[in-house]
Structure 1
Amino acid sequence: MNDTKCTDEDEHFMLGTADSIEVLIYFLCFAVGGPLNVIALRRSLRAFRKHRAKSPILLLRINLNLADLCTLFVYVPKQIIWMLTYQWYGGEVLCRVCSFFSTFSFYANSFVITCIAIDRVCGAYNISSLNAHRRAYLRCRRLLVVGWAAAFTLSLPQAAIFRVFKPYSEKDFRQCTPLWTTFLYEKIEELKDVNLTELERTEIQRSISDMQQLEKLYNINHLLFVFWIPCIIIVISYLTVLFILQGRLKEALSPRSTNPGAIVVSTIHKAKQHAKRQATWIILAYLTFWSPYNVLAVLNMTRTLSDHHVFAITLSFLNAAICANPIANPLIYGVLKDDSKP
């Protein structure tokens, strides 16, 4: 009995400590990332208004800032409040609204970064075109419209799935939880009825299995669109950029080339070096902050992990780590550099 008691106390202490550290991570993301992105957004908007020829790079940066601010000022505060109270006090409407925007912010972030990657490919392909700048701005606008619309559409199910649930009739305890959690809780409670016939018990177990499959399909779809598909597009895009620039460099160095060799070689070489550096940092940052959580989530869905308790704590920490990405983004994309050089 003493061993059991000691284990329980250690478990409660670990959970309490883990929660405190996680809240601290969210708070630091909010305290550092919030002002950084607000300053970056103001500088980008000022530079955008100042340039007569609208810069596609600035347009992309502004949208990335907006996506990051949505994460920092909607999702992060909601997580902090929930972890400090472990209850939902916001009511049904706010539950659905917050669930929508929490998911929307992550989709938007991934899709805007994907738009930037696709724009880099088109920019590298048209590096020698005089009309490329005008076309690039229109192309970025179209890409961003598609990206934001996709984020909005894919987030809509959250408003239908999440709802306020009160599991205990004798306690005033509420949670904003997905419908399958509510469904499974109610069905498991039904299974406790000793008067159930074997047929009724089998039917309940079948409905539980069906709901678990639905939850799994939804989570797979979410992981694919929020990370894996954007990640594949980003990696392919930047590899394509490097191949295009390598081909242009070889063409410029060719004796049969009619281009002004030295200038073209210098321009393409600089563009190639810049693309290499930016591609490296973008991919590293995205994979560093996002892939641990998404890889672990896939392992959990395939039941590769055996210790659910350790998994739950680790996954929660990795989810908080994703919120540090908005701190890195303004620095990677150079939002804080000289406004006159977009």
Structure 2
Amino acid sequence: MYETSTQISTTIPARLWSEVTEAVLLVLLTTSYIFVAIVLAYRLWKQRRIKPPAIYNGQPGPFNSFWLFKSSLYCSDCMIMLIYASVKAIWLLEFQWRFGTAGCKAYRFFSSLAFLSNSNVVCAIALDRYLSVYSNHIIGARQYQRTKRMLCAVWGFALITALPQLFVWEAYRPSPHNWKQCVTVFAIELHQLPLDSPRRDQVKLYSMLYEAYHQAMTFWVPLSITISSYVRMMSRLIPFWPFSVLHSYEDERQKTLCTIFWSKIRDKMNSLFCIALFRRKSYASQQSARVPLAGTTRHPPTTALRRQLGTTVFKNACTIALAHVVLWLPYNIISLSRFVDEEFYEIVSQNGGNLCEILILLNCFVNPIVYSGGLNNGNRV
């Protein structure tokens, strides 16, 4: 995903076994994903035509809102597989870069945009679930507009963050042979500088700063926001244990206060007294908490929080975030090791460490499986 090594050979190097293996895997994965992308595009298109189911008061559910997240995640997955993976497979099979400097810049820019948008969409899904908990579950038209603004910000941020790629990468011929590679300007300058030049340390510092920026924006910053969102969300939900999701809004309306305030009272008489005493108050508190907004519904905080963990959208969001972290983490840890010991990083990379990148590509296959499950049940936030 990064390939920012500052070492350039003055002769055409021999192929590494890891490069051959990676090229074969990339070809297989890209070919397989074409069929997955076609099927998923049809399913998303078909799902878009389905009228969102209604909730308690007849307002449209959040089905279309989560559909926007799924569509954005699908677009970024397609960019990763059809731009980054496919071009890299050709690059490894040809064993040289054949698309010139303009192609090198474009490839690095769109590849970076794909990874940034993918990671940021997962982060946006986590933020959306967080806002759903802390805004009493605003659903309907207001949530749909919020989702669109959030995704516009995600793609705009990814676009701006990827712009340095247009200035950092170039096609370069390091040897007398007609053999070019797509490398960073830092690697080119280090290759041209004498070994005793005092500027080498400065160029290496710039290279490290660029690498740190790219890694942070692509993975570590979105990961921090995602984890923080779920930790804060769970800290809000845990006090309402047990998370028994009630399928009937009427039943939940009647039992919410009893569940929260009397969950530890096991005496049968006290429980019956609690239900009889607080049933009407629970109804009154929910009516006062409901704010009439055009195209929008607010559920009371206690009702919304208890419903949260059992919803299809919430479960899918958690699964998408978990799969993203698990599959992206190994490669990013290896990339992070270069800041500690660059020699160790080079050894690991040349001996199969880059194959961990295949896990990131597998995430593009896992995402459709996760968010395609239970599509018809997406009406509950």
- Shorter-chain-normalised TM-score: which range? 0.7 to 0.9
2:225 pairs with one of 208, 220, 233: 233
Q: Which residue type is aligned with residue 179 of structure 1?
A: V
Instruction: List aligned pairs for 1:169-184, cutoff 5 A.
Output: 169=176, 171-184=177-190
Shift of the alpha carbon at 1:335? 2.4
2:180, 2:88 → 1: CA distance?
Answer: 15
Alignment partner, residue 211 of structure 1 = 203
2:44, 2:305 → 1: CA distance?
Answer: 26
2:104, 2:86 → 1: CA distance?
Answer: 14
Q: Which residue type is aligned with residue 106 of structure 2?
A: V
**Cα-to-partner distance string for 1:89-143 (whole Å, 9 max, x where unaligned):** 11221111111011111001000111111011112234555xx322211111111
CA contact (8 A) 1:40 1:330 kept: yes
Mark the CA change 1:269 to 1:32 in structure 2 (over 3 Å): closer, same or farther: farther
1:112, 1:143 → 2: CA distance?
Answer: 9
Equivalent residue pairs, number: 311
Pairwise CA RMSD: 3.0
Alignment partner, residue 282 of structure 2 = 259
SS of the counterpart of 2:98? Answer: coil
Shift of the alpha carbon at 1:215? 0.6
Matched, 1:281 2:319: yes
**Cα-to-partner distance string for 1:262-302 (whole Å, 9 max, x where unaligned):** x9989755531447744653343122211111111111221
Shift of the alpha carbon at 1:159? 1.1
**Structure 1 portions without partners, runs of 5+:** 1-10, 192-200
1:221, 1:268 → 2: CA distance?
Answer: 37
CA contact (8 A) 1:289 1:322 kept: yes
Alignment partner, residue 353 of structure 2 = 315
Alignment partner, residue 142 of structure 2 = 135
Shift of the alpha carbon at 1:178? 0.8
Segment drifting more, 268-277 vs 297-306: 268-277
2:83, 2:137 → 1: CA distance?
Answer: 42
Q: Which residue type is aligned with residue 330 of structure 1?
A: P
1:156, 1:128 → 2: CA distance?
Answer: 36
Alignment partner, residue 157 of structure 1 = 164
CA contact (8 A) 1:48 1:59 kept: no
Mark the CA change 1:122 to 1:36 in structure 2 (over 3 Å): closer, same or farther: same
1:19, 1:168 → 2: CA distance?
Answer: 20
Alignment partner, residue 175 of structure 2 = 168
Q: TM-score, normalised by structure 2?
A: 0.73
Instruction: List aligned pairs for 1:92-171, cutoff 5 A.
Output: 92-127=101-136, 129=138, 132-169=139-176, 171=177
1:76, 1:58 → 2: CA distance?
Answer: 26
Q: TM-score, normalised by structure 1?
A: 0.81
Mark the CA change 1:339 to 1:279 in structure 2 (over 3 Å): closer, same or farther: closer
**Cα-to-partner distance string for 1:188-218 (whole Å, 9 max, x where unaligned):** xx34xxxxxxxxx4xx2x2111010001011
1:38, 1:114 → 2: CA distance?
Answer: 26
2:120, 2:192 → 1: CA distance?
Answer: 37
Alignment partner, residue 47 of structure 1 = 47
Alignment partner, residue 372 of structure 2 = 335
CA contact (8 A) 1:165 1:177 kept: yes
1:300, 1:326 → 2: CA distance?
Answer: 26
Give the % identical residues: 21
CA contact (8 A) 1:67 1:105 kept: yes
2:163, 2:304 → 1: CA distance?
Answer: 45
Alignment partner, residue 196 of structure 1 = none
**Structure 2 portions without partners, runs of 5+:** 1-12, 53-59, 243-255, 262-273, 286-298
Segment drifting more, 119-128 vs 133-142: 119-128
SS of the counterpart of 1:323? Answer: helix
2:343, 2:142 → 1: CA distance?
Answer: 49
Tell me which protein shows more helix as a share of its residues: 1
Mark the CA change 1:277 to 1:340 in structure 2 (over 3 Å): closer, same or farther: closer
Matched, 1:244 2:236: yes
1:183, 1:126 → 2: CA distance?
Answer: 52
2:41, 2:377 → 1: CA distance?
Answer: 15
CA contact (8 A) 1:96 1:159 kept: yes
Alignment partner, residue 3 of structure 2 = none
SS of the counterpart of 2:352? Answer: helix
2:360, 2:351 → 1: CA distance?
Answer: 15
CA contact (8 A) 2:123 2:225 kept: yes
SS of the counterpart of 1:184? Answer: helix
